[in-house]
Amino acid sequence: MSELQALQQKINYDKTFDCVQCGYCLPACPTYETMERETHSPRGRINLVKMVAEGKASVQDLEKPIEKCLGCMACTTVCPTNVQYGEILEGAKEVIEDHQIKSTSRKKIEDFLFGSFFPSGKWMNTLGNLTWFYQKTGIQALANKSRLTKLAPLHLDKFEQVIPQQPSPKERSKRAKRYKRKRPAHAKVAFFTGCVMDSVFFETNQNTIELLLRFGFEVVLPEQQTCCGALHAHSGKVNESVELAKRNIKAFEEEEIDYIVNNAGGCGARMVEYHHLFEEGTTWRERAEQFVSKVRDISEVLAEVDDLVFNKSVDRTITYQPSCHMTNVQKVKNPPLQLIKDVPGITLKELDRPDFCCGSAGIYNIVNYEDSMDVLDVKMKDVCGTNSESVITTNPGCLLQMKLGIEREGVTHTMDAVHLVDLLLEADPQQK
C-alpha cells in the first residue's frame, strides 16, 4: 500500500464522498457561526480532508480547522446524506497526531493529561483532595485576594472560581464499592464514575448512587474501571483510547449486571461506540457489543422506574442545556426532560437553540479558551433570555462551562448551574 493510500484509509477518504456540499449543516455549526469561515464549517472541513487525502493540501493545512471543531456532532443531525462526520473527524485527528505537528508545549501537556492523569483513579482522587485542601485552608481566598491566581496558565484561574466545594479526603475514602439494594425488585447496575466527574463532582456521583438505591437497584463500582477514552479520541490518540476501552470492558464484564449506568453525557457517548473500535468478527468486538448493550444514562434508567413520586416541591424557573454528545451520539433526548417535567413546582423555560453547543467539548475550553468563550457567549444569551434561576445539564464539562458562563454574565446572584441528578435528589424522590 502506498503512503497516500495508507493516509486515505486512515483519514476515511471514502466517507468524504457522501458529502454533496449542500451546506444544510452550516447553520447548525457553532464554529461556523462564531468564526465565519468556510474552513471552520463541517462542509469546509470535509473538503479539506478530501484535499489532503488527494495530496492537494498538506496535513498542516488541516490542523487548525480540525483543532477548532468542537466535535459536537450538531452537523450530523441535519445532514441529508448522513455523512459520518464523526469518523472523518477522528481520522483527521489521528493523522494530525501521527504527523506530530502540534507545538511542543501542547504535546507535553497532552501527553501528561492523557497518558498519566485522566486514566488514573489515584491522580483524579489526588486532584479532588488537593482542591479540598486549597479551598478549606484559606489558600484559595488568599490567592484570590492577592491576585496570584492570575498567574495560572491556560486560564485555569477562571476554572478554579467555579469548581464546587470538595468533600474531605476522609469522605472520599469512605465510599463503598458495593451497595445492597434497599428494596426488592429492579436490577443490578454497575456505576461508571468517570474521571473528571468523580474528581470534581464527587457529590453528584454520590447522589447518583443514592438515587439508584432509592429505587431498588443494587449498585457496584468496579474497581478496575478507568477513563472512558473520549478525551483521548478527541485528541487523535486512538491507540490509547482503544486500550482504555479494553480496560473498561474487562472491568465491567467481571460483574453480573443488567446495566452500566453513567451520569456524564460525553462518557456515555464514547462508551456506546466502543464496538466501532474493533474489527467485526473479533472477540473484542463481541465483548464490546455486550458492553455497549448495557450502557445507559442515569436519566434513561430513572425514567423507566414505575410510580416515581417526588415529596418536595422545587419552586424554581429552570432551563435545560442538553449535552451535545448525549443528544447527538447517545440519542438520549426525552428522559431528562421527562424527569424535569415530573418535578413538582418547576417552571421549565426551554432554550431557543438547545442544540447549540456550550463550547466545553472535552478540553476544548482549556486549549482553545477564547474560541470556546465566543461559543459560550452565544449560548449564554439564550440562557439569560429565559430568566431562569437554574440551568440543568447532564455532563461535567457542560456543567463547568455553564458555571463559567454564569460568572461571565455576572449573574451568579440570580442563577446557578446544576446537574440533573442533584435537582432530582433535591425533590426527594421515592417509589410508591
The reply on whether position 70 binds ligand SF4 by CB under 6 A is yes
Range in contact with ligand SF4 (rule: CB under 6 A) among 70-78, 141-149, 163-171, 404-412: 70-78
3-state secondary structure 313-370: CCCCEEEECCCHHHHHHCCCCHHHHHHHHHCCCCEECCCCCCCCCCCCCCCHHHHCHH
* Of 7, 13, 16, 29, the one binding ligand SF4 by CB under 6 A: 29
Contact 192, 228 (CB under 8 A): yes
Range in contact with ligand SF4 (rule: CB under 6 A) among 8-16, 43-51, 164-172, 270-278: 43-51
Give the shortest CB-364-to-ligand SF4 separation in angstroms: 9
* Of 49, 52, 62, 79, the one binding ligand SF4 by CB under 6 A: 79
The reply on whether position 20 binds ligand SF4 by CB under 6 A is yes
The reply on whether position 42 binds ligand SF4 by CB under 6 A is yes
The reply on whether position 318 binds ligand SF4 by CB under 6 A is no
| Stated length of the chain | 432
Range in contact with ligand SF4 (rule: CB under 6 A) among 56-64, 77-85, 102-110, 265-273: 77-85
The residue among 76 and 263 lying less far from ligand SF4, judged by its C-beta, is: 76
The reply on whether position 36 binds ligand SF4 by CB under 6 A is no
The residue among 81 and 239 lying less far from ligand SF4, judged by its C-beta, is: 81
Separation of alpha carbons 92 and 235, rounded Å: 10
* Of 34, 62, 71, 197, the one binding ligand SF4 by CB under 6 A: 71
Separation of alpha carbons 418 and 405, rounded Å: 13
The residue among 45 and 237 lying less far from ligand SF4, judged by its C-beta, is: 45
Find how far residue 415's CA is from the centre of its chain: 22
Give the shortest CB-135-to-ligand SF4 separation in angstroms: 34
Give the shortest CB-372-to-ligand SF4 separation in angstroms: 11
Write the single-letter amino acid at 216: G
The reply on whether position 322 binds ligand SF4 by CB under 6 A is no
Contact 255, 187 (CB under 8 A): no
Give the shortest CB-279-to-ligand SF4 separation in angstroms: 26
Separation of alpha carbons 36 and 244, rounded Å: 36
73 grid coordinates: 456532532
Question: In Å, how far are 1, 88, 208, 234, 275 from 93, measured between CA atoms?
Answer: 21, 9, 34, 7, 19
The reply on whether position 24 binds ligand SF4 by CB under 6 A is yes
The reply on whether position 73 binds ligand SF4 by CB under 6 A is yes
Chain residues 232-261 in contact with ligand SF4, contact rule CB under 6 A: none
The residue among 44 and 335 lying less far from ligand SF4, judged by its C-beta, is: 44
Give the shortest CB-155-to-ligand SF4 separation in angstroms: 20
Range in contact with ligand SF4 (rule: CB under 6 A) among 65-73, 119-127, 173-181, 293-301: 65-73
123 grid coordinates: 491522580
| CB proximity list for 263: less than 8 A, separation 6 or greater | 194, 197, 204, 205, 208, 297, 298, 394, 419, 420, 421
Which of 126, 110, 98 lies closest to 202, judged by CA?
A: 126
- Residue 179, classed as helix, strand or coil, is strand
* Of 11, 49, 75, 269, the one binding ligand SF4 by CB under 6 A: 75
* Of 7, 11, 19, 376, the one binding ligand SF4 by CB under 6 A: 19
Give the shortest CB-276-to-ligand SF4 separation in angstroms: 17
Which of 223, 294, 289 lies closest to 262, judged by CA?
A: 294
Range in contact with ligand SF4 (rule: CB under 6 A) among 16-24, 229-237, 248-256, 289-297: 16-24
Separation of alpha carbons 76 and 92, rounded Å: 17
The reply on whether position 23 binds ligand SF4 by CB under 6 A is yes
The residue among 28 and 418 lying less far from ligand SF4, judged by its C-beta, is: 28
DSSP H helices, 11-138, are: 13-16, 30-35, 42-53, 59-67, 74-78, 85-99, 104-112, 121-136
The residue among 83 and 367 lying less far from ligand SF4, judged by its C-beta, is: 83
The residue among 50 and 232 lying less far from ligand SF4, judged by its C-beta, is: 50
The reply on whether position 17 binds ligand SF4 by CB under 6 A is no
Separation of alpha carbons 171 and 350, rounded Å: 37
Which of 123, 106, 78 lies closest to 328, judged by CA?
A: 78
In the complex, the residues that contact ligand SF4 under the rule CB under 6 A are 19-25, 28-31, 42-43, 45-46, 69-75, 79, 81, 83, 85
